[in-house]
Structure 1
Amino acid sequence: MDILLLQDNSAPVVTVQIVYRVGSKNKVPSNTDSTHLLEHLNFKETPTFNKRNGTSIFGVLQGIGAQMNTTTWNDRTNYYETIPSDQLELALNIEADRMRNSLLLNEDKDSEMTVVSNEFECGENNPNSILNKEIWAMAYMSHPIIIPPLGCVRILKTCQKKS
């Protein structure tokens, strides 16, 4: 694991970003949604951070004023949060717990599969997204990287603007 720290005292915040070297290039044709679905599921629950005891990952981070998101791309998946700098230890604990102990529950899988599918359909109606997919398909004709991640941030933002 590489840990990079850059101190910047211009604001009392810190951004924690965890990058995993797994993305659409690691998919197999029969299971094309797996990396993006796993990204969504890892945002859900662990035994420590969960809805039942009032400490969901999203709820805890939102409670300290975090700006957070996660993305999946061809060669990586990342989770990040910008938080008050005095909450760094909490963010690192959440990320460590998320990596080791995520509860991959069927009820979460079913609901998140709907979200992933909606993000995919949104991209299918976006000319820029379609062009991008075609360019990648020509560049990597027999590699799993041609299967684009279903939740590209640009696609999602474009869909949100139209809503």
Structure 2
Amino acid sequence: VWGGLFGASLSLMIRMQVGHPGAVFLKSDWFYNVVVTTHALMMIFFAVMPILIGAFGNWLIPLLVGGKDMIYPRMNNLSYWLSPNALYLLMLSFSTDKGVGAGWTIYPPLSVYPYHSGPSMDVLIVSLHLAGLSSLVGAINFASTNKNMPVLEMKGERAELYVLSISVTAV
């Protein structure tokens, strides 16, 4: 929920800046680039992955493959404990020092400086590693659920398309 609210507020700031050409809502290009990069990282690690992989993965995938006793597997608990910490560090990198976000990770033409230094960069790197580890743990959970939990009569070609697409995504 907090990730969604934070991402939505960043999206509104971007829309207000882009929606009025020539108007300077955010006052500086550097701050605009910080907002764009933070919003992109929010969408990838705290919206797309948790909603498609985490939320549906906790209950929908085990139901689709017939593993009703695996609806809330233990490994996803580790995945979810890492996500809030990564989100906190991402918000901290947004506000530490000059903030990270000349677009170096998402869209290189936005870059103003060829490199970044300082504590905001270190905090962002740790945040991305925690978010990536969270996604990796979720992917391992998916792979093990899809491999171990289908009913005996269900062959790979009879699985639902959503289960197959998540399996390909997780691998």
Q: Using structure 1 for the length normalisation, give the TM-score.
A: 0.30
Larger Rg: 2
Q: Using structure 2 for the length normalisation, give the TM-score.
A: 0.29
Kindly indicate which of the two structures has a greater share of residues assigned to strand.
1
